[in-house]
Amino acid sequence: MSSPPPARSGFYRQEVTKTAWEVRAVYRDLQPVGSGAYGAVCSAVDGRTGAKVAIKKLYRPFQSELFAKRAYRELRLLKHMRHENVIGLLDVFTPDETLDDFTDFLSGGCTPPTPSPYHCPPHALPHMVLGPTGTGTAGQSWGCCLSPRLAPGPSPAPEDLKPGNLAVNEDCELKILDFGLARQADSEMTGYVVTRWYRAPEVILNWMRYTQTVDIWSVGCIMAEMITGKTLFKGSDHLDQLKEIMKVTGTPPAEFVQRLQSDEAKNYMKGLPELEKKDFASILTNASPLAVNLLEKMLVLDAEQRVTAGEALAHPYFESLHDTEDEPQVQKYDDSFDDVDRTLDEWKRVTYKEVLSFKPPRQLGARVSKETPL
């Protein structure tokens, strides 16, 4: 059996948990952090700055058109995101020197979570370097917000917000480690129990077109859990999840049921016994009246009536914290290219182009060398 070719110039090869990693020579001391169904994460030290980073590697990102589309979509979104409370992309590279050889790429950034009994699920992308994009101190330790009783093990894919996707440091500064990059059409990503507990009801039964308020629901569930120390809606399956939700929100009026796009969902809802909305204060016993009022606006069954992010930030509960000048508005993401039908080779080409066109943020320090052009 012939030995593999030597590592590309400027790279080195290392085996981590029985997987071959080929990374830039500037990233040293690879240590496993976590793995999931689609990829793995290692921590490393950037030799140029001494900062700790996390490097992600996807398992066979081009094994199918679905996997290739997912990798492309996530890479574009991570390149687009620039916010101090969201894990940031510092570097993207591939050890493959030409498009014909292109089978793997890595990405990274973010100071990785410190070792803990809790599992912080990895992003589902290959070799990328993730790091702080805000003003946080390099080398700060970040611990997973996930509580021990919820520890789910490897997450199958990034979906709606949940405690395991959030990290907090010793100064109570928060970063989102993962965010909704998967689409509900990717059916193999659904059904994971912990994700279900924080999933908006319209997502559970695929009621209607989703809006940004699906994240408001998830934030409301997390906020309620932070107040009470208990999972708010802990369903055993997707129908039981909906029942747990309506025990609190009450069953919706007939007008709402008629707006549902799914006949199956309509029939299911019509067959449910009528439930009255509960007094949120009786459930959130340790919450302030303002917190209860805000959560009542966030945890609304009808997504069209649910509070928006802007409205939530303007709520009196956040009066002492709300600062419009310190809340950057992200540039709108152009998703018009995400769902174009492409062959596997075409997905590889556009992904390769995204890898080569990446420009690292200024705080990375010395600029990385350019890859071979298309």
Q: CA-to-CA distance for 243 and 251, rounded, in angstroms?
A: 9
Q: Are 175 and 166 in contact (CB under 8 A)?
A: yes
Tokens representing 297 are: 């606006």
Question: Given 46, 96, 104, 160, which residue is catalytic?
Answer: 160
Q: CA-to-CA distance for 136 and 123, rounded, in angstroms?
A: 21
Say whether 279 is catalytic: no
Sign, CA dihedral 87-157-169-290, equals positive
The Cβ of residue 7 has, within 10 Å, a number of other Cβ atoms equal to 15
Which DSSP string corresponds to 78-92? HHH---TTB-EEEEE
Tokens representing 31 are: 């240590």
Residue 237 phi/psi, 5-degree rounding, is -155, 180
Tokens representing 24 are: 């830039």
Tokens representing 317 are: 């509960």
Q: 54, 186, 198: which is closest to 125 by C-alpha?
A: 54
The Cβ of residue 264 has, within 10 Å, a number of other Cβ atoms equal to 10
Quick one: how far is CA 119 from the chain centroid? Answer: 14
Tokens representing 307 are: 């509070």
Q: CA-to-CA distance for 282 and 266, rounded, in angstroms?
A: 30
Residue 283 phi/psi, 5-degree rounding, is -90, -45
DSSP bridge pairs for 53: 44
Determine whether 244 is exposed, middle or buried from the number of CB atoms within 10 Å of its CB (0-12, 13-18, 19+).
middle
Contacts of 80 (CB under 8 A, 6+ apart): 330, 331, 333
Q: 246, 200, 237: which is closest to 219 by C-alpha?
A: 200
Q: CA-to-CA distance for 110 and 40, rounded, in angstroms?
A: 15
Catalytic residues: 160
